[in-house]
Structure 1
Amino acid sequence: MDLPRHDLGLLLSLDVLLAERSVTRAARRLGISQPALSAQLARLRDLFDDPLLVRSGRTLVPTSRAEALRQPLNRLLDELQSLVAAELPFDPMAGPVTVRVIATDYIHAAVTGRLVAAFEGRGDGPASDARVVPDTRVIMMAHDPQRSRQDLEEGRADLMIASEPLLPQGAIRSRLFDERFVVVQRRGHPRGTGPFDLDEFCRLPHVLVSPVGGALRGVTDEALAAQGRTRRIAASVSSFLQLPPLLARSDLIAMAPERLAMACTRDLDIFEPPVTVPGFTIHLAWHPRRDRDPRICWLRREIQALHL
């Protein structure tokens, strides 16, 4: 192995190739042409005296040598990133900034508007005072339990916003805000707009949101059971985003996160629940590999400063 003939950029290319298992996708991610990356792969094969990636159908499959290289390669690139970061702090004003955030559908509906407005300098609070960054793009990505951890690890996403049970194992997290539940009904509901008592709450038909799908019992039912009560579940849906249109066309009521309800006040009335239901905490999370990345540190500070 003649290391002086090769540059360290080849190792970054190898890391991306092992992640993408496609020269086309890896070249796009690295911002170089496909022929240029193919030439780099040839040099990598020469450097390690191994094919590294072999074709199987339409994908490239790592050899056993390449698989053995993944963890030490990740550690080496992390150390190099820390070395560069120590000397080159991130300056958001130096060029375009792209923010990629994985979020649940509830976060998309309740928080995205404020997040985008703040980065454009149109938000409320301290984060919008002087944090207008030229050419900022906010990309909100859907949460996929099968891909979110890998997207964070491999840099396709910067951060994730979600409740504790949905966060990838091993992710570093910081509390973003606490959420509570409120009762919602459509505007013009025949019951009127008075406060709910427990009897009426239990008697009226409810929509239950079950993120895993199909459940007919949730935290509200646990709270009611502690008082020896039950409610009437008329429908179960898998997403909080399904609530507003469903409630608008029916006389159903539902328990919903307050921030989501506040985003829909044109169509929904909001009430205090007649039973104490535990809320949940939303976290900002990132992969340990990027804990000291100046760009990620800056993004975390900006989002925390929004006081969402």
Structure 2
Amino acid sequence: MTTSLSERCTPCQCLAQHFATMLLRNLDLNFLKVFDALMDERSVTRAAERLAVTQPAVSATLNRLRDAMGDPLFVRTQRGMAPTPRALALSVPIKRILADIETVLRPAEFDPATVELTVTIAATDYALRAVVVPFVAALRPLAPHIRIAVVQVSGAAMLERMERGELDFALITPEMASADLHSRHLFRERYVCVMRAQHPAADTALTLESFCQLDHAIVSLQGGGFVGPTDTALAKLGLQRDVVVSVPSFGMLLDIVHSSDMVALVPERLLGGTTGLKVQTPPIEIAGFSKVLAWHPRSHGDPRQRWVREQLVLTCSQLD
């Protein structure tokens, strides 16, 4: 299901929409672009570089905006230009207006086989292996001129980069999806226990007792951790396993399992195309997780972005 920004305005939102509409009626489009650049960059110098104009031109436009709005809009501080409450209220409506204008001016149709486009995706180590790798393989025959850039970014930085147009999509969990973003459910993931095919325990069903007696390896995204959700679940039963290796990525984890008699619990989708491993159902229930695709409203109506989104969703559905 796609979630989006509410269509019902709060009093503050309606007031901001009124101000933005007034700006659009009384000022040319360049004024809105200068305001948006200043809001993103918080610097006259960087805003001028982004718009390919001079600093005096940006300063002059800002002064005219201040006169039109009867508000300073941006106040100089030691850390740059800080927006006033009036500017913050205007920021989202003006960004939407600019995005709508960009959508109107862009051709409504395109040919995936010839379109040239760079798509930037935020993905964890897991999402890179489970989603991006098969997505790139499926995309290349259809759109050979679309380039994919994968970055690791989360939290406030992710939303800021989307607002700046530096990030197109994020492969995240529902809990990480901001209310300011559109999102679409991709799949539900579950954990399985893996060991090398020649492991001494490969031909016997795992019990809680035998599971705890094995040597385990885990992923610690923060680094150095030897306790995870599995250990929490075991502790509730008064049990404990022996975790002997902690690594920062699932790729390293699978390499260790391949080359040793250690076992590991891994998300099932990571095993697509993997050979030489025995997969078993864990003898204890471990909560899985969901993945969603998130994107900013500024690119929601872009037909190229929409096509790429649909291809990514289709790739995930075909891997179920």
Contact kept, 8 Å, 2:194 with 2:278, in 1: the verdict is yes
Contact kept, 8 Å, 1:164 with 1:283, in 2: the verdict is yes
Which residue number in structure 2 is paired with residue 40 of structure 1?
A: 58
Q: Using the alignment, how far apart are the partners of 2:248 and 2:178 within structure 1?
A: 20
Which residue number in structure 2 is paired with residue 252 of structure 1?
A: 262
Q: Using the alignment, how far apart are the partners of 2:310 and 2:55 within structure 1?
A: 35
Q: Using the alignment, how far apart are the partners of 1:211 and 1:74 within structure 2?
A: 34
| CA deviation string 1:98-118 (max 9, x = no partner) | 211111111112222212222
Q: Using the alignment, how far apart are the partners of 1:268 and 1:25 within structure 2?
A: 52
Q: 286, 297, 303: which is aligned to 2:306?
A: 297
- Answering whether residue 152 of structure 2 is matched by residue 142 of structure 1, we say yes
CA, structure 1 residues 167+47, in 2 after alignment: closer, same or farther (shift >3 Å)? closer
Deviation at residue 210 of structure 1 after TM alignment: 3.8
- Answering whether residue 78 of structure 2 is matched by residue 62 of structure 1, we say no
Deviation at residue 27 of structure 1 after TM alignment: 5.4
Which residue number in structure 2 is paired with residue 194 of structure 1?
A: 203
Which residue number in structure 1 is paired with residue 285 of structure 2?
A: 276
Which residue number in structure 1 is paired with residue 137 of structure 2?
A: 117
Which residue number in structure 2 is paired with residue 13 of structure 1?
A: 34
Q: 70, 76, 89: which is aligned to 1:71?
A: 89
Q: Using the alignment, how far apart are the partners of 2:248 and 2:174 within structure 1?
A: 18
Contact kept, 8 Å, 1:15 with 1:74, in 2: the verdict is no
CA, structure 1 residues 27+261, in 2 after alignment: closer, same or farther (shift >3 Å)? farther
Q: 80, 84, 91: which is aligned to 2:109?
A: 91
Within 5 A, what are the aligned runs for 1:203-222? 203-212=213-222, 215-222=225-232
**Structure 2 unmatched runs, 5+:** 1-21
Which residue number in structure 1 is paired with residue 253 of structure 2?
A: 243
Q: Which residue type is aligned with residue 43 of structure 1?
A: T
| CA deviation string 1:51-102 (max 9, x = no partner) | 846473xx532353xx531331321331343365367564343742221111
CA, structure 1 residues 102+37, in 2 after alignment: closer, same or farther (shift >3 Å)? farther
Counterpart secondary structure, 2:61: helix
Q: Using the alignment, how far apart are the partners of 2:243 and 2:226 within structure 1?
A: 7
CA, structure 1 residues 174+274, in 2 after alignment: closer, same or farther (shift >3 Å)? same
Q: Normalising by structure 1, report the TM-score.
A: 0.76
112-121 vs 268-277, greater mean Cα deviation = 268-277
Which residue number in structure 2 is paired with residue 262 of structure 1?
A: 272
Within 5 A, what are the aligned runs for 1:168-187? 168=178, 170-186=180-196
- Answering whether residue 249 of structure 2 is matched by residue 232 of structure 1, we say no
Q: Using the alignment, how far apart are the partners of 1:114 and 1:228 within structure 2?
A: 40
Q: Using the alignment, how far apart are the partners of 1:193 and 1:91 within structure 2?
A: 54
Deviation at residue 150 of structure 1 after TM alignment: 1.6
Q: Normalising by structure 2, report the TM-score.
A: 0.74
Which residue number in structure 1 is paired with residue 6 of structure 2?
A: none
CA, structure 1 residues 91+60, in 2 after alignment: closer, same or farther (shift >3 Å)? farther
- Answering whether residue 100 of structure 2 is matched by residue 82 of structure 1, we say yes
Deviation at residue 23 of structure 1 after TM alignment: 5.2
Which residue number in structure 2 is paired with residue 286 of structure 1?
A: 295
Q: Using the alignment, how far apart are the partners of 2:25 and 2:159 within structure 1?
A: 35
Deviation at residue 202 of structure 1 after TM alignment: 1.4
Deviation at residue 148 of structure 1 after TM alignment: 1.2
Which residue number in structure 2 is paired with residue 129 of structure 1?
A: none
Counterpart secondary structure, 1:138: strand
- Give the total of aligned pairs: 289
Q: Which residue type is aligned with residue 33 of structure 2?
A: L
Counterpart secondary structure, 1:40: helix
| CA deviation string 1:191-231 (max 9, x = no partner) | 26324411322110212334455654433335445665432
CA, structure 1 residues 24+87, in 2 after alignment: closer, same or farther (shift >3 Å)? closer
Q: Using the alignment, how far apart are the partners of 1:104 and 1:207 within structure 2?
A: 19
CA, structure 1 residues 192+229, in 2 after alignment: closer, same or farther (shift >3 Å)? closer
Q: Using the alignment, how far apart are the partners of 2:225 and 2:281 within structure 1?
A: 24
